[in-house]
Structure formats: C-alpha cells, structure tokens
Amino acid sequence: MKITKICCIGAGYVGGPTMAVIAQKCPHIQVTVVDLNEQRIKDWNDPNTENIPIYEPGLSEIVAEARDRNLFFSTDVEKAIDDAQVIFISVNTPTKTYGKGKGMAADLKYIELCARQIAKVAKQNKIVVEKSTLPVRTAEAIKSILDNTGNGVQFQILSNPEFLAEGTAVTDLLSPDRILIGGDTTPEGEDAINALVEVYANWVDKDKILTTNVWSSELSKLTANAFLAQRISSINAMSELCEKTGADVSEVAKAIGMDSRIGSKFLKASVGFGGSCFQKDILNLVYIAKSYGLNEVADYWEQVIIMNDHQKRRFSNKIVQTLYNTVADKKITFLGWAFKKDTNDTRESAAIYVADDLINEQAKIAVYDPKVSRNKMLSDLDYLQTRSSEENSNALDIFNDPYKACEGAHAIAILTEWDEFVTYDWQKIYDSMHKPAFLFDGRNILNVKEIESIGFIYKRIGS
C-alpha cells in the first residue's frame, strides 16, 4: 500500500510536531491533524506561525512551510478519519484519578473514544497507529473495539511510540535515534508495517527503523522512559549524600559519566524531573507489574518516583531553612516555570510543587518564564486543589521582565535551565534585592565563584 493520506487525532505536544515533520518531509502525503478543541486548532491555524500553541525551536518554520500545502489542522474529525488510509491516535493518556488503578494506571477513556469513533466512521480498510504512550496490550483492546463495533472493514493496529524530548522535539524527529514500529506478524500486519516504514524512509535511514511485534513496541516506550528517569533519580539521591559529605555532585557526575559503560547523559543533579512522560510512564509500569503480582519489580520502579518527589520537597525545605526557618511574607522569585528549557510545557514541573510548598509557608512567589503564560501558571496551582483560585492568584505574581521579578526579593530560585538566565546582569539583580540575598540554583546552571563574588549567598543541589 502506498500511503497518500494520513490523519492524526490529537493536536498536542506529540501529534502536532510529529505530523508537521511528516508533512514537511513527505510533500506527496496529505496530513490532517484533528482535535475537538476549537481554540487549539484555531491557534495552529494562526497566520503568524510564531503563535502556534506549542513552542519548540524550529517548529514554527516547519509549520509555515507545510501548512495549507499538505498539512492541515481541523475540527472535522469524522471527515479526516473517512479520508485517511492511516490514522494516528495521539490523544492524552493521563494517570487515572479514579477507580481501579487510581494514581498509577493510564486512563484510556480517550483512546477508547477514538477507537469507537474510527469504527463508526470507517468504510474502508484502515491502518490505526498508536502514537500515545500506552500500557502493554492496549492494541489488543483497540483491535477488539474496531473489529466488533465497526462496519465490517479490516483494521491493522500498529504501535509507533514517540521518543521525543521536549525542547529538542524537532531535532529528535528530523534525526531520530530510532523509529520503532510494532505490528502483527500476519501477512496483513507485515504489509501495514512496511507501509509505515516507507513513510519514515523518506528521511530516516532504514537501518534506524526497527520492527517488532506490537507488545514489544508498547513496552519499549515505557522501559526507555523508566531507565532515563531512573538515572535522574539516582544522581539526585547522590546529590543529597554529596551535600552531607562535602563532595561536589557535578564532579562526581563528571567522573562516573566518563565511564563508557555508564555515559554522561541524564546525570545532571537538579530539583527533579517533570514533563508528561516520565512520572506517568513509571507509574504505569508499576501498575502493570503489580497487576501481574510482581511486587518487587513494582517497588523497585516506584522508588524512582519517591526519590523525585523527595528532591522537590528537599529543595523547598532548603529554601525555608536557609531563610532562617521562615519565608512568611517574604518574596521568593522563581526564574522558570516550564519543566525544562525550550518548551512551554509545564506538566509535572518542579516549579509547581516547590511553589505550592512555599505558599503553604505563606511566602509571596514572583515568577518569570519566557514562554509560560500567567493563566497556565495559575491553572497549574489550581489543579493541585491545595487552596482556592483566589488564594493562588494572591500568592503568585507573574512578571514579563525578569529584573522586575527580582526587585525586592529575599531569594531567587532557578527552576528551569533557560539559557538566557546565564546571560543576566546578576550584579544589577543583586543590587535590587533584600540583603542578605539568597540564590538557589535548582538546575546548576550558574558559575558558583562568579555568583558568590557578587555577594549572593549561593545554594545549589549537591553542594
């Protein structure tokens, strides 16, 4: 089968960038991204591509090139499903907040809704591709829905997990480490796999396109994120030991990172990992292990989350203890709210939880982030349901100017490693603050000697 029409259900952080790159690299394929969120689609169609809803370096240029040529954004889900040969499912799969598996299992209600809608609309054979991060054997459930509630058409289910890091998503899509495609081992399944392989082969070397059975593909995604998160929690655990013993965690990380068996990536101590994938996927892995009675396996992976939560609390506790055991009515400035640089995604950002802890201590929080809006910051705090929206609004002051945000602050906490923070006139910032002026570098991006020479009382993770 030669693919000429693709539909993607879900215009979020995965669907939008992935489809934009496919459209750019495959001008012979019509790519339609659909979503029921009318405002989100309107934003994707904004004439000024700098205003698209997702910030990723290089994404707006790709959208500008392909949009209205062979890349389209629409709310007409049924038409897109009907027209397409391949349908990517890229909807949200949050951790369940209710019922069996609450707090661990993936909530698959949106996946099921997609499957039922595809089954209802499809009149010709379709390839359905899981792009969302899903628990093992979800494809089996999707296939059951499609085969038993449809119009008698044949569906092939493929698993094609994304391995994108927010902030470098475009680079990851253009030059991936690997593309993983899982499907049935039947002749029809092999044909579907090969059809998708040929789409990616327009710009990815076939040696980097791995094909597996669908179950291996689904589990590989969870495993990859679990291993990466484990490394972060491991170095964060050592950062606390470094503080107690007088070691420097940056030096320890450099030393062990030079071991070729270990490598240097994901060994930077910080206030903790965030984002949509790591915590959700590990909790999903824990739930799967428990459902099979593998309690020791579940406990092992759950400790990665426990360590990450501990690191966030430890950071907020360090601020309170350093500021003479009280931050009541003190202004604490946060530089950064996104969970990492070069993205406007705030899901599971450490900043949310540190802010929540400090507001509980009656601190006044001032925030500057170059890409995150005031409404998003407030909704992040409201989601925790710790206090009323009015109380959160009164406790959080958002600035468009970092220097204004720092004026009169008792302390500054760096929560996101935005490159621009390194270039600031820190002497000017110090001069505008209450004395003594404290600086807590939760991302270890500033030069210790330079900052201390200005006069800051400088605290960072692992020192």
Q: Residue 260: how many CB atoms within 10 A of its CB?
A: 6
Q: What is the mean pLDDT of residues 132-142?
A: 68
Q: Which of 95-109, 148-162, 256-270, 341-355 is the least confident region?
A: 95-109
The pLDDT value given to residue 148: 80
The pLDDT value given to residue 141: 77
Residue-wise pLDDT for 152-167, tens only, equals: 889 999 999 989 888 9
Round to whole Å and give the CA distance between 58 and 207.
26
The pLDDT value given to residue 299: 97
Residue-wise pLDDT for 36-92, tens only, equals: 999 999 999 999 999 999 999 999 999 999 999 999 999 999 999 999 999 999 987
130 is catalytic: no
Catalytic residue among 26, 96, 126, 162: 162
Q: Report whether pLDDT(105) > 90.
A: no
Residue-wise pLDDT for 442-455, tens only, equals: 999 999 999 999 99
Which is higher by pLDDT, 337 or 112?
337
Q: Which of 123-132, 294-303, 312-321 is the least confident region?
A: 123-132
Catalytic residue among 96, 126, 131, 221: 221
Q: Report whether pLDDT(135) > 60.
A: no
277 is catalytic: yes
Catalytic residue among 218, 277, 341, 348: 277
Contact 419, 402 (CB under 8 A): no
Token match 């689904």: residue? Answer: 218
Long-range contacts made by residues 318-321, C-beta under 8 angstroms, separation at least 24?
318/440, 318/459, 319/354, 319/358, 319/411, 319/413, 319/438, 319/440, 320/358, 320/361
Q: What is the mean pLDDT of residues 225-244?
A: 96
The pLDDT value given to residue 431: 98
Which is higher by pLDDT, 112 or 242?
242
Contact 274, 348 (CB under 8 A): yes
> With the C-alpha atoms ordered 295, 301, 302, 306, is the resulting torsion angle positive or negative?
positive
The pLDDT value given to residue 462: 86
The pLDDT value given to residue 139: 74
The pLDDT value given to residue 167: 92
Question: What's the pTM?
Answer: 0.88
Contact 75, 35 (CB under 8 A): yes
The pLDDT value given to residue 427: 98
∠ at Cα 348 (344, 354), nearest 5°? 100
The pLDDT value given to residue 137: 64
Round to whole Å and give the CA distance between 101 and 82.
34
221 is catalytic: yes
pLDDT averaged over every residue in the chain: 94
**Percentage of residues in the chain with pLDDT exceeding 90?**
82
